Structure 1
Amino acid sequence: MTPDIRVKICGLGTDATLEAALEAGADWIGLVHFAKSPRHLDLARAGALSRRAKGRAGRVLLLVDPDDALVAAAVERVEPDLIQLHGRESPERVAAIRHLAGRPVWKALGVAARADLGAVAAYRRVADRLLLDAKAPPGADLPGGNGRAFDWDILRGADLPEGTMLSGGLTPETVAEAVRRTGLSAVDVSSGVEVRPGEKDPARIRAFLAALRPGP
């Protein structure tokens, strides 16, 4: 597998798992600030982990439908390199948050059917990167991180922006096949490297990176 595939390990919450992701070569580490998530961090804890990762990987702060006050507080206290929006933010809201934050913004889009890719055209104009995640099941509390994959063949022949990221149910066992089938050059994992919701496994983090970057 080519080392050109870029990897984000999301939902980190401890020094040990953060170090595992950094030492394994993650390109980005993700910190979640969303109270309903088992991966939720308050801004103080997210800021502490962000400082540990500074200069070692891109620091992504995940927010869900944040208001202006939260965006401002998050930027000040966490100092992320970029923000990932994982709620129902409109294209206009994505653009506004990008301006307010003064840094790149990624937007996650839920995918369950080919028709869901219709949102790509509107968001590609305002987001610095799009992340395609499995659409949450009806009634789910979480917009992502549900351990579900979507049918990757939905993406066959789709007009997607350069750098589009694949997410949703990826694991160390499936990620190489996912990259082969979709042709995407960036992947995001959260639940796929956990032993239970919110508890990352350093060994699975290392295995995920090794599946894409095998040694000699």
Structure 2
Amino acid sequence: MTRVKICGITSAEDAAAAVEAGADALGFVFAPGTPRLVHPEVAERIAAGLPPFITTVGVFVDQPLDEVLRIAARCNLQAVQLHGDEPEDFSLRIPIKVIKAVRVRDAGSLRLLPTYPAHAFLLDAFVEGQPGGTGTAIPWDLALQAGSHVRIILSGGLRPDTVGLAVRRVRPYGVDVSSGVETRPGRKDHQKVREFIAAVRQADLS
């Protein structure tokens, strides 16, 4: 079964809607200067109200290790997603699961996958000056190539009307969506969230 992560959660209402729709994981963005930034106090409160078996993921971009660890502990995160240029030893010092985001421009972007210490790799499109959440799709053939030897989470440009085909073509470990189910950055369209997850589940059956 393809895991579904709804990223950029900023409110308890959006979190509850995603869980009700069948999301496996929720993403909280802690990187300063991003449109979906959530304060740790807010994320802590949202996470505390979630039911069991929902994975909480914190998204960070080139932030100090002590900050990452402090927020992860405060919010009781189950995984950390590194979306910057964090070195390998950075990942090794994080005591919970690590997802490494890779901004894919071409096949050369996948070189670090075999050696970087991560439990999964999130593949997102390379857009100059933006670490993620751009709504730009990556070439699925590169994702398929990467998925032959590591767990990949497909991201970038996924929407309710495109994610089914993406899942059938790539068969990723998981899919990640933010802008594809929003009314505006940080605010989810609950109907789109339901449609997105339903499309993934339907694709899993085909």
Q: TM-score, normalised by structure 1?
A: 0.88
Residues 42-53 of structure 1 correspond to what in structure 2 (within 5 A)? Answer: 42-53=39-50
1:57 aligned to which of 46, 54, 57:
54
Q: Does residue 1:113 correspond to 2:106, yes or no?
A: yes
Is this contact kept in 2: 1:120–1:160, CA < 8 A? no
CA, structure 1 residues 20+150, in 2 after alignment: closer, same or farther (shift >3 Å)?
same
Quick check: 72-81 or 35-44, which moved more?
Answer: 72-81
Q: What RMSD in Å do the two structures reach over aligned CA positions?
A: 1.7
- For structure 2, the 5+ residue unaligned runs are none
Q: Aligned equivalents of 2:157 and 2:186: distance in 1?
A: 14
Quote the residue 2:151 is aligned against. Answer: 163
Quote the residue 1:15 is aligned against. Answer: 12
Is this contact kept in 2: 1:13–1:41, CA < 8 A? yes
Identity rate, percent: 38
Q: Aligned equivalents of 1:160 and 1:64: distance in 2?
A: 27
Quote the residue 1:29 is aligned against. Answer: 26
Is this contact kept in 2: 1:33–1:42, CA < 8 A? yes
Q: Aligned equivalents of 1:157 and 1:11: distance in 2?
A: 27
For residues 121-161 of structure 1, what are the alpha-carbon distances to aligned partners after superposition, in whole Å with 9 as ceiling and x for unaligned? 221xx1111111111x22x2x30001111111223444644
Q: Does residue 1:68 correspond to 2:44, yes or no?
A: no
CA, structure 1 residues 69+202, in 2 after alignment: closer, same or farther (shift >3 Å)?
same
Is this contact kept in 2: 1:22–1:56, CA < 8 A? no
Instruction: Quote how far apart the aligned CAs of 1:162 are.
Output: 4.2
* Residue identity opposite 1:185 in structure 2: Y
Q: Does residue 1:132 correspond to 2:118, yes or no?
A: no
Residues matched between the structures, number = 203
Q: Does residue 1:152 correspond to 2:152, yes or no?
A: no
Q: Does residue 1:184 correspond to 2:172, yes or no?
A: yes
SS for the counterpart of 1:176 is: helix
- Which runs of structure 1 show a deviation greater than 2 angstroms over 4 or more consecutive aligned residues? 154-163
For residues 152-177 of structure 1, what are the alpha-carbon distances to aligned partners after superposition, in whole Å with 9 as ceiling and x for unaligned? 12234446444311111111110011
Instruction: Quote how far apart the aligned CAs of 1:12 are.
Output: 0.7
Instruction: Quote how far apart the aligned CAs of 1:29 are.
Output: 0.7
For residues 73-116 of structure 1, what are the alpha-carbon distances to aligned partners after superposition, in whole Å with 9 as ceiling and x for unaligned? 202321111111111111222212x2xxx211111111121121
CA, structure 1 residues 83+94, in 2 after alignment: closer, same or farther (shift >3 Å)?
same
Q: Aligned equivalents of 1:190 and 1:159: distance in 2?
A: 21
